[in-house]
Amino acid sequence: MSGFFKSSIGRKVSMALSAFFLMFFLLQHLSINILSVFSPELFNEVSHFMGTNPVVQFALQPVLIFAVVFHFVMGFILEIRNNKANGAKYAKNNGAANSTWFSRNMILSGITILAFILLHFIDFWFPEINTKFIQGDWSGTMPGVDGFRYHEELVHKFTNPLRVGAYVLAFVFLGLHLAHGFTSAFQSVGAASLRKKLEKVGIVYSILIPAGFIFVAVYHLINH
């Protein structure tokens, strides 16, 4: 198994598998967040279920954290190795003629998205961990708020235009990252023959997912 991760193919396949998991998570996460716009009550119910379900909290959540860390660490390793291996070739063959600037600089978008994830953790995940695991409060309620607290907390975070601006910028970079990463992930697992179809699906996915998150943030900024 260690030899698999040390090989170039092994690293690319493992990177692709983590990408698939994270892309599915983004779709699921957006599906829940969009409820905060159309049905705050349902958003609260679903959020409470996800936040208190033992399978989600003690099985899926650790897997998600591992996938995020693994994906970015492996991405940086691949980028560094590719730069070392292809530096001279780009100088001779002009790699810019055969690929987009963004596809050759995925590490830049990766760093931006990583900074956003840290902000997202500070805004939502760390307070949630503190409430449930340190304070021991799994009720999902807060003083002065009827029903569950999740919608109130979400709206409160998006009352600051600077924070919303940071989220919007991060989601734009996420879209650019997905535009290349979606097709690249499938190619890494042997689906290169479907490249043209995957590019179309990837474009739709890389636009709709970030646009959906941006819509949620801007909606709550305007309507808080």
Band (pLDDT 50/70/90 cuts) for residue 224 is confident
pLDDT at site 1: 53
Q: How many CB atoms lie within 10 A of CB 65?
A: 12
Residue closest to 157 by CA, chosen among 193, 188, 126: 126
Provide the mean pLDDT of the chain.
86
CB 116 within 8 A of CB 167: yes
Per DSSP, the residues of 68-92 read HHHHHHHHHHHHHHHHHHHHHHHHH
pLDDT at site 186: 84
Instruction: Say what the pTM is.
Output: 0.86
Number of domains in the chain: 1
The phi-psi region of residue 190 (left if phi > 0; otherwise alpha if psi is between -120 and 50; otherwise beta) is left
pLDDT at site 101: 54
* CATH number (domain holding residue 100): 1.20.1300.10
Express as a percent the part of the chain with pLDDT over 70. 87
Distance, CA of 10 to CA of 15 (rounded, Å): 8
Distance, CA of 70 to CA of 24 (rounded, Å): 16
Band (pLDDT 50/70/90 cuts) for residue 129 is very high
Lowest mean pLDDT among 20-24, 159-163, 185-189: 185-189
Beta-strand ranges (E) seen in the chain are: none
pLDDT at site 83: 73
CB-facing half-sphere around the CA of 95: CA atoms within 13 A? 15
CB 214 within 8 A of CB 171: yes
Q: How far apart are the first and last CA of the chain?
A: 51
Domain of residue 65 covers 2-223
Residue closest to 207 by CA, chosen among 186, 177, 185: 177
Q: How many CB atoms lie within 10 A of CB 158?
A: 21
Distance, CA of 14 to CA of 1 (rounded, Å): 11
CB 4 within 8 A of CB 10: yes
Higher-pLDDT residue of 140 and 113 is 140
Residue closest to 168 by CA, chosen among 117, 214, 124, 222: 214
pLDDT at site 99: 56
Question: 173 pLDDT exceeds 70?
Answer: yes
pLDDT digits (tens, 9 = 90+) for 63-88: 999 999 999 888 888 878 777 776 54
CB 188 within 8 A of CB 5: no
CB 178 within 8 A of CB 23: yes
